[in-house]
Amino acid sequence: MTDSWATFGTDLHLEPVGQGLRSGLMEALREAVRTGRLAPGTRLPSSRVLAADLGVARNTVADAYAELVAEGWLTARQGSGTRVAQRSAPRRTDPAAARSRPVRPGARYSLKPGSPDLSAFPRTAWLKAARKALTAAPDEAFGYGDPHGRVELRTALAEYLARSRGVHADPDRIVICSGFAHGLTLLGRVLRRRGIRDVAVESYGLDVHRDLLTDAGLRTPCLPLDEHGSRTGEPAALRGAGAVLLTPAHQFPTGVPLHPDRRAAAVDWARSTGGLILEDDYDGEFRYDRQPVGALQGLDPERVVYLGTASKSLAPGLRSGWMVVPESLVAEVAGAKGPANSCGVVDQLTLAEFIGSGAYDRHVRRMRLCYRRRRDELVAALAERAPRIGVTGLSAGLHVVLRLPPGLDERTVVQAAHWQGLAVQGVGAYRHPDAKAETWGGLVVGYGTPSDSAWAGTLEALLQALSAVGDIEGPRPV
């Protein structure tokens, strides 16, 4: 039998040099057992024989055998030598099959909303902030941490949100989360535990947000919407709801800001019923034609939970979000995060430094100019080449809604765009299942999504798609 082991040694593809020999031998033996090359019960050569065969020290082989015995791969019994452990051979997995997970073929261009220009992430400035933050951080910062999040970040955010968004913030009522979805998940859990069953949502919005609430055991009745935003003032609209999810600065996706009377009505509803407003301030930083409309939260910090993120202002990949929470809810919301803070401390400290140093404001200003230029180019191009298309939701954010002329189905345009290599979404994709059907069609155009270099091509693809479906080059309707 000894002869065959010479071959076996070669089969192991060992390179008998350096420190890695023992571990290489172990891995080769594991692999041989795993794949069935070495069947259960097979007796291995003695360490002396295999060592000689491989030209290595006997101890190396003996140690490897001992390890594999400890791990349960091999057994060593007095008098019967070292054998492959008695158990059915592990199922073999096919790495090729595992790797063939289908990848969705990407469209060449995308105007899907919800993402900023990823190519504009300020890598150098971020690294600079990371260096300062990591140098200054106390050792304890690297521990499990407080579920509220790092105090440095909560302090920087309190100052920033008060200044830029009129949020009544103080560090003790801020809870850091890993984005809006995480924040909403935590809030859903807290609301459900408080016995709430219904969280009203706008009749247009993201289904993933509704799903997160549903997953928490909540129902999501739908709040009607018109050109002044969600109709918070109607007595029937919020009846029975324990909370309402709103996008006051720039309704998603229709783009209308919530009318002052509707803001007041929402707060009045919350006060009179003990309800809670969840304010999704998803693109509050980006307003072009006038200064940003301040956050609703400022009107009543005890009845509004403010949710913001760095996903539009910096990048979704940071998974950095924050909630400004009524004092009476802070402990519950932080508690819902679980035993440890779930957000990486390096990013938290870096973002605190990034905000505190003014780099965040500079980046937002730069991006605001960039996005406004794109918006202006989009509007000008449409006016020239597709004047029958109306545009709404212009004054803020990273997307607009193109209103299609009556008779032109948005699905037709989405399909035409697809043939131009352009991914774009119709407003219908965001409609609440219980919403009153609209008589008009529209496209949600996320002009923040392309990189600067792809922008011109993307815009052209959109115009081509629109002209392909025809009937848009007439005079603009009054």
Range 272-291, binding a copy of itself (CB under 8 A): 290-291
Between strands 276-280 and 304-309, the pairing is parallel
Give me the least distance between CB of 436 and a copy of itself, in Å please.
26
Does 298 bind a copy of itself (CB under 8 A)? Our answer is yes
Residue among 186, 223, 345, 391 that touches a copy of itself (CB under 8 A) = 345
Q: Which lies closer to a copy of itself via its Cβ, residue 63 or residue 438?
A: 63
Q: Which lies closer to a copy of itself via its Cβ, residue 211 or residue 384?
A: 211
Give the CA angle between residues 323, 328, 334 to the nearest 5°. Answer: 45
Report d(CA 381, CA 455) in Å as an integer: 13
Residue closest to 381 by CA, chosen among 465, 450, 448:
465
Give me the least distance between CB of 408 and a copy of itself, in Å please.
31
Does 320 bind a copy of itself (CB under 8 A)? Our answer is yes
Does 319 bind a copy of itself (CB under 8 A)? Our answer is yes
Yes or no: say if 98 and 106 are a contact pair by the CB < 8 Å rule: no
Residue among 25, 84, 173, 202 that touches a copy of itself (CB under 8 A) = 173
Report d(CA 160, CA 124) in Å as an integer: 22
Give me the least distance between CB of 298 and a copy of itself, in Å please.
6
Give me the least distance between CB of 129 and a copy of itself, in Å please.
11
DSSP H helical ranges for 274-390: 330-336, 345-356, 359-385
Give me the least distance between CB of 197 and a copy of itself, in Å please.
20
Does 127 bind a copy of itself (CB under 8 A)? Our answer is yes
Residue among 81, 166, 387, 457 that touches a copy of itself (CB under 8 A) = 166
Token pair of 314 as six digits: 């910096």
Does 172 bind a copy of itself (CB under 8 A)? Our answer is yes
Report d(CA 397, CA 166) in Å as an integer: 18
Give the range of 276-284, 312-320, 352-360, 397-405 binding a copy of itself by CB under 8 A. 312-320
Name the strand (E) or helix (H) holding 99. Answer: helix 95-99
Judged by CB under 8 A, the chain residues 139 through 158 that form the site for a copy of itself are 139-145
Does 14 bind a copy of itself (CB under 8 A)? Our answer is no
Which one-letter amino acid corresponds to residue 121? F
Does 361 bind a copy of itself (CB under 8 A)? Our answer is no
Q: Which lies closer to a copy of itself via its Cβ, residue 10 or residue 451?
A: 451
Q: Which lies closer to a copy of itself via its Cβ, residue 97 or residue 437?
A: 97
Does 400 bind a copy of itself (CB under 8 A)? Our answer is no
Between strands 109-110 and 422-423, the pairing is parallel
Residue among 121, 357, 373, 395 that touches a copy of itself (CB under 8 A) = 121
Judged by CB under 8 A, the chain residues 236 through 275 that form the site for a copy of itself are 257, 260-261, 263-264, 267-268, 271
Residue among 200, 315, 443, 472 that touches a copy of itself (CB under 8 A) = 315
Report d(CA 335, CA 194) in Å as an integer: 14
Report d(CA 107, CA 116) in Å as an integer: 17
DSSP H helical ranges for 216-284: 260-273
Does 41 bind a copy of itself (CB under 8 A)? Our answer is no
Q: Which residue has the tokens 């709404």?
A: 392
Q: Which residue has the tokens 């979704």?
A: 316
Token pair of 403 as six digits: 């209103």
Residue closest to 302 by CA, chosen among 326, 331, 270, 275:
326
Report d(CA 429, CA 113) in Å as an integer: 12
Q: How does 378-392 read in b/e, with b if 16+ C-beta sit within 10 Å?
A: beeebeebbebbebe
Judged by CB under 8 A, the chain residues 43 through 102 that form the site for a copy of itself are 63, 66-73, 75, 85, 87-88, 90-91, 93, 95, 97-99, 101
